[in-house]
Chain A
């Protein structure tokens, strides 16, 4: 079984592309990859979606509170002191779009898999443990309006062979 972080650039570029598309299309704004980023000191909100069926995977997005606020501002088109439920809705929705976009990018094999609804947690250290058998792991940090957030994907090993992203 493959263990540790994924080093296959095709998987990483695919994830970066999906995240960039979500921000470009939905918000008409960019988010940049932060290479060699240290873990964010503070995680305010996390959202997790499980993909189950023919393909099993986990998508986890983690936002410091300040970035979560900026994302909610962008989604709702104004700045305000948003209630927690609304910020959680925005983070869950972003997770949903990233997981859905990634699944779609995998092609036909993934169509027999289903996405869970986002599970939101507010914790300093959210549960990052992927489901059993997820040997392919990616953790990427991005910057949105100069604030960081991370996206982690954990994928069962067998699709590493079944669904290699295209060159």
Chain B
């Protein structure tokens, strides 16, 4: 799903600098630990609910337990909108959910609303000066 999702995000017009991939919750935790070690903060975490080895809800809970990527918004993605784990994830602090299948507009709107605002380029900042 992760390559498909990255493709959807790029085709939606979002400017993605770098995307980290993880195949399951365990790999996701390792990626968060590595980004913390290398002091490379993340902007957003998109997490499937259904994953092998460690599912999305357990990933979210473990991430919080270990205080990994604090304050970074997490969006849960699911093909099963009736799954109680989706509500559990929101109750545990997930910032949003996206149901599969999704439109490009849906995922763009969700992601844009959670990404930090992009600083305007210097020339634009200069234009804004009185």
Known: A21-B101, A26-B102, A104-B82. A93 touches B50 (CB 8 A): no
Neighbour of A25 across the interface among B4, B7, B10, B101, CB < 8 A? B101
**What is the total of A-B residue contacts with beta carbons within 8 Å?**
58
Q: What residues of B have a CB within 8 angstroms of the CB of A97 in the complex?
A: 79, 100-101
Q: What residues of B have a CB within 8 angstroms of the CB of A110 in the complex?
A: 82
For B2, the closest partner residue in chain A by CB is A89
Could you tell me if A99 and B1 are in contact, using CB atoms closer than 8 angstroms?
no
Asked if B88 is an interface residue, CB under 8 A from chain A, the answer is: no
- Sorting the interface of chain A by its residue count into under 10, 10 to 19, 20 to 34 or 35 or more gives 20 to 34
Asked if B64 is an interface residue, CB under 8 A from chain A, the answer is: no
Determine how close the nearest CB of chain A comes to the CB of B100; give it in whole angstroms: 5
Determine how close the nearest CB of chain A comes to the CB of B12; give it in whole angstroms: 11
For A117, the closest partner residue in chain B by CB is B52
Q: What residues of A have a CB within 8 angstroms of the CB of B1 in the complex?
A: 89, 93, 96
Q: What residues of A have a CB within 8 angstroms of the CB of B52 in the complex?
A: 117
- Report which B residues bind A (CB closer than 8 A): 1, 3-4, 7, 10-11, 50-52, 78-84, 100-103
Instruction: List 18 A-B pairs, Cβ < 8 Å.
Output: A25-B103, A26-B100, A77-B7, A77-B10, A89-B1, A93-B100, A96-B1, A97-B100, A97-B101, A99-B80, A100-B78, A100-B79, A101-B79, A103-B80, A108-B82, A111-B82, A114-B83, A117-B51
